[in-house]
């Protein structure tokens, strides 16, 4: 279920981040249940007649017409009503109904019933509806309008598959008209390749995998649509297990819905068959030997991270830099809640963390990462990050010093410095264990409090609500709420019934489930276009500037799940157009994907 959160506009949102497990206890706040499962199918049509679309009288008229129509076609249903005059009609089925079939039926009914809101059936990931017993946002509850025994009987003996076929046949004309009216818009233009370096699918294929909605002008059937995703994943260097995992854990419910025609025991076999067909096709269409798996054309720069960051540097100069960075980072963690208290200090703390992580990557206390790079790492706008850096650098004897201001393509150069009043304390500190992180992507959705609580668990500094409140300096109630959120998203688990333990390996999968990666990619693309315009301006006005503008510069992409446990957005840099040649053969699959 998803707990409702009231927005500043006075509306109630049922967000993915507020999803909780269903329990026997009735939630005290308004709550809604998911319409679709991780397999992209539903067990009932959820017909939401909304009073805001014409008033209670219009809802009553539509409800009467709908129930008469359902009875005429042999369908059994359950009805309830909300305090504001809305009505829900549930039509349960014995077999799970695929997303595309359920949505077509509801959209077709919506064409002739003005108060019917098809919203709950329009998204596999976010579609939800309040069920009988749920608290209403205006007070009262969603209440059955039929005897409980009768509703229970319908739920216990749902409609057979023949009734679904009858309903589809009766609405065949409306379904055909709705299909014709669809003009999908995609989050990228047709010129963008279907895959990118570092094993990522295009925005169009990701959208298809997550929502199950595809362009009927491009794909003639669900079979071709799902093959597009499979072929794109194979071309990007994924393994069959990567796709199977996303089908199983709910990250790709849209693709799961496209496999709904197969029984649960046959779906993996069908997936494997499609995967081997795609792999065979790719193998026969490759023309460039330098596109072999493992070949990398990614340009390296002086700010690119080394292949590994494990172990201790063995050169004296590197040792000194390493010692300084570890001391600086440990000192920051020890005093940050006092130096930058409350919610107002969270962004400053994560900007400093990002600088510390960047220093580890470059093995130097001197950091020259641009504000846009740091903005992606902390989930903020670059102008806000710039203001934080100016404030920090403007404090004498503080955490950073501005060594050289930005010029041309070069960003500001900062030195990580130990505050003068803490120099004696730094000498006696024991270094923190583990790696330093900025704001990892999933916490863009779950918030900085959850990030700090997770970090304390991950670093083994606390293992209970009480010790977490002391270790983080955050109020106990806020820590308790953060733990509830982390447990709900399977990022924290209770060990031996009491001890809390972080699950770092689940961070990337949860970020994908919450849709955070789409926001990250959108921010990267916006900054890439801004850099392109800046480089073009330099080329016209700066005599010493000769590098061409590159719209693909400085993209950071998530790695495979096998390395996701310690990944953040400062992990990789500078994907160029040359890197895309590794998957250029995917463009030859235009007739498929």
Same domain, 211 and 135: no
Residue 175 lies in a domain: yes
DSSP letters for 308-369: ---S---SHHHHHHHHHHHHHHHHHHHHHHHHS-TGGGHHHHHHHHHHHHHHHHHTSSEE--
Q: pLDDT confidence of 151, banded at 50, 70, 90?
A: very high
CB distance 120 to 14 below 8 Å? no
Quick one: 142 and 221 in the same domain? Answer: no
| pLDDT for residue 70 | 95
3-state secondary structure of 175: helix
Q: What is the pLDDT of residues 479-536, one digit of tens each?
A: 998 998 898 888 999 887 778 999 888 888 888 888 888 888 888 888 888 888 887 8
Please give the structure tokens belonging to residue 84.
């504001």
Measured distance CA(318)–CA(322) in Å, rounded: 6
| Among candidate residues 445, 444, 465, 442, the one with its CA nearest the CA of residue 453 | 465
| Ranges of H-type helices in 18-82 | 56-72
357/153: higher pLDDT: 153
Instruction: Report which of 32, 42, 144, 34 is spatially closest to residue 94, judged by C-alpha positions.
Output: 42
Looking at 53-62, 179-188, 468-477, which range is the least confident one? 179-188
157 and 125 inside one domain: yes
493 part of a folded domain: no
Query: Which pLDDT band, with edges at 50, 70 and 90, does 59 fall under?
Result: very high
Residue with tokens 């500190």: 429
> So what's the pLDDT on residue 58?
92
In this structure, the answer to whether residues 213 and 162 fall within a common structural domain is no
On whether residue 173 sits in a domain, the answer given is yes
Q: What is the mean pLDDT of residues 249-273?
A: 81
Region for residue 428 given its phi and psi (left: phi exceeds 0; alpha: psi -120 to 50; beta: otherwise): alpha
Same domain, 63 and 123: yes
Domain of residue 40: give its range: 33-180
The residue with greater pLDDT, 244 or 551, is 244
Last residue of a domain, one of 291, 317, 345: 291
pTM: 0.61
Residue 258: which of 234, 232, 226 has the closest Cα?
A: 226
pLDDT of residue 544: 55
- For residue 489, the model assigns a pLDDT of 87
Q: How far apart are CA 157 and CA 77, in angstroms?
A: 10
Is pLDDT of 342 > 60?
A: yes
Measured on CA atoms in the order 376, 377, 378, 383, is the torsion positive or negative?
negative
* Start-to-end CA span in the chain (Å): 35
The total domain count for the chain is: 2
DSSP state of 167: H
Helices (H), 399-447: 423-426, 443-446
Cβ of 588: how many Cβ atoms within 10 Å? 14
Name the pLDDT band for 319 (thresholds 50, 70, 90). Answer: low
Clarify whether residues 137 and 273 are in a common domain.
Answer: no
pLDDT in tens, 391-417: 988 888 788 888 888 777 778 888 888
Ranked by mean pLDDT, the top range of 163-177, 240-254, 305-319, 528-542 is: 163-177
pLDDT at 289: 44
3-state SS, 83-115, equals CCCCEEEEEEEEEEEEHHHHHHHHHHHHCCCCC
Q: How far is CA 173 from the centre of its chain?
A: 37
pLDDT range class, residue 65, cuts 50, 70, 90: very high
457 is a domain residue: no
Regarding whether 246 and 119 lie in a shared domain, the answer is no
Tell whether 52 and 147 lie within a shared domain: yes
Task: State residue 162's pLDDT score.
Answer: 95
| pLDDT digits 0-9 by tens, 83-96 | 888 999 999 999 99
**Residue 165 is part of a domain; what is its CATH number?**
3.90.920.10
How many whole angstroms separate alpha carbon 397 and alpha carbon 417?
8
Domain termination site, one of 291, 310, 337: 291
In this predicted structure, what is the pLDDT of residue 308?
Answer: 41
Is 366 within 8 Å of 414 (Cβ atoms)? yes
pLDDT higher than 70, residue 576: no
From 262, 291, 320, the end of a domain falls on 291
Confidence at residue 318, expressed as pLDDT on a 0 to 100 scale: 59
* Residue 410: how many other CB atoms lie within 10 Å: 11
Give residue 9's pLDDT: 74
42 and 70 housed in the same domain: yes
pLDDT at 205: 87
Q: How high does pLDDT run on average in the chain?
A: 78
Hey, which bits of 409-498 come out as E strands?
413-416, 492-495
- Is residue 430, in this structure, part of any structural domain at all? no
State the pLDDT at residue 556. Answer: 36
Do residues 378 and 424 make contact, with C-beta atoms less than 8 angstroms apart?
Answer: no
Q: What is the arithmetic mean of pLDDT over 357-365? A: 84
Q: Is residue 277 part of a domain?
A: yes
Residues 271 and 164 placed together within one structural domain of the fold = no
547 pLDDT band, cuts 50/70/90, is: very low
Q: Is residue 212 predicted with pLDDT exceeding 70?
A: yes
- What pLDDT does 148 receive? 94
**Structure tokens given for 118:** 């098809």
Kindly state whether residues 37 and 168 are assigned to the same domain: yes
In a domain, 243, yes or no: yes
536 found inside a domain = no
pLDDT of residue 580: 31
Higher pLDDT, 437 or 552: 437
Torsion angle in degrees (nearest 10) through CA of 223, 229, 232, 237: -120
Q: How does DSSP classify residue 141?
A: B
157 and 257 in a single domain? The answer is: no
Q: Token digits for 593?
A: 């994907």
């Amino acid at each position: 279920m998803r707990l409702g959160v009231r927005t500043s506009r006075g509306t109630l949102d049922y967000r993915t981040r507020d999803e909780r497990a269903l329990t026997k206890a009735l939630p005290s706040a308004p709550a809604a249940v998911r319409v679709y499962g991780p397999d992209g199918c539903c067990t009932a049509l959820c017909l939401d007649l909304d009073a805001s679309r014409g008033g209670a009288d219009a809802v009553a008229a539509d409800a009467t017409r709908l129930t008469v129509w359902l009875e005429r076609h042999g369908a059994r249903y359950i009805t309830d009503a909300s305090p504001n005059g809305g009505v829900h009609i549930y039509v349960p089925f014995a077999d799970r109904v695929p997303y595309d079939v359920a949505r077509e039926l509801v959209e077709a009914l919506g064409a002739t019933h003005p108060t019917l809101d098809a919203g709950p059936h329009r998204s596999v990931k976010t579609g939800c509806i309040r069920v009988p017993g749920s608290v209403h946002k205006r007070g009262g509850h969603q209440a059955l309008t039929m005897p409980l025994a009768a509703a229970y009987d319908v739920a216990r003996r749902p409609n057979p598959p023949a009734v679904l076929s009858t309903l589809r046949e009766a609405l065949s004309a409306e379904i055909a008209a709705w299909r014709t009216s669809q003009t999908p818009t995609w989050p990228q233009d047709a010129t963008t390749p279907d895959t990118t370096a570092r094993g990522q699918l295009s925005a169009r294929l990701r959208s298809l995998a997550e929502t199950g909605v595809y362009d009927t002008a491009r794909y003639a059937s669900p079979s071709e649509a799902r093959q597009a995703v499979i072929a794109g994943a194979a071309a990007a260097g994924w393994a069959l297990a990567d796709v199977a995992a996303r089908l199983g854990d709910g990250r790709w419910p849209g693709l799961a819905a496209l496999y709904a025609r197969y029984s649960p025991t046959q779906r993996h076999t069908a997936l494997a068959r499609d995967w081997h067909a795609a792999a065979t096709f790719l193998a026969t269409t490759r023309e460039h030997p330098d596109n072999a798996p493992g070949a990398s054309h990614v340009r390296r720069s002086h700010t690119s991270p080394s292949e590994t960051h494990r172990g201790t540097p063995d050169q004296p100069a590197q040792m000194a830099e390493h010692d300084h960075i570890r001391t600086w980072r440990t000192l920051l963690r020890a005093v940050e809640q006092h130096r930058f208290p409350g919610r107002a200090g969270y962004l400053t703390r994560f900007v400093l963390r990002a600088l510390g992580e960047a220093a580890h990557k470059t093995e130097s206390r001197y950091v020259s990462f641009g504000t846009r790079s740091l903005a992606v790492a902390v989930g903020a706008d670059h102008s806000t990050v710039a203001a934080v850096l100016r404030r920090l650098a403007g404090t004498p004897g503080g955490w950073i010093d501005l060594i050289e201001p930005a010029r041309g393509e070069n960003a500001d150069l900062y030195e990580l410095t130990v505050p003068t009043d803490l120099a004696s304390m730094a000498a006696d500190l024991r270094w923190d264990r583990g790696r330093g992180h900025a704001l990892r992507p999933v916490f863009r959705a779950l918030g900085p409090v959850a990030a700090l609580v997770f970090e304390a668990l991950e670093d083994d500094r606390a293992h209970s609500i009480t010790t977490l409140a002391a270790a983080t300096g955050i109020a106990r109630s806020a820590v308790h709420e953060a733990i509830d959120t982390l447990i709900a998203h399977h990022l924290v688990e209770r060990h031996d019934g009491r001890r809390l333990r972080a699950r770092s390996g689940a961070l990337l999968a949860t970020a994908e489930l919450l849709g955070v990666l789409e926001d990250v990619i959108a921010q990267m693309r916006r900054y890439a276009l801004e850099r392109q315009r800046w480089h073009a301006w330099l080329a016209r006005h700066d005599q010493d500037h000769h590098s061409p503008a590159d719209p693909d510069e400085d993209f950071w992409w998530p790695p495979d799940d096998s390395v996701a446990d310690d990944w953040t957005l400062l992990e990789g840099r500078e994907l160029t157009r040359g890197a895309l040649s590794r998957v250029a053969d995917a463009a030859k699959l235009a007739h498929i994907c």
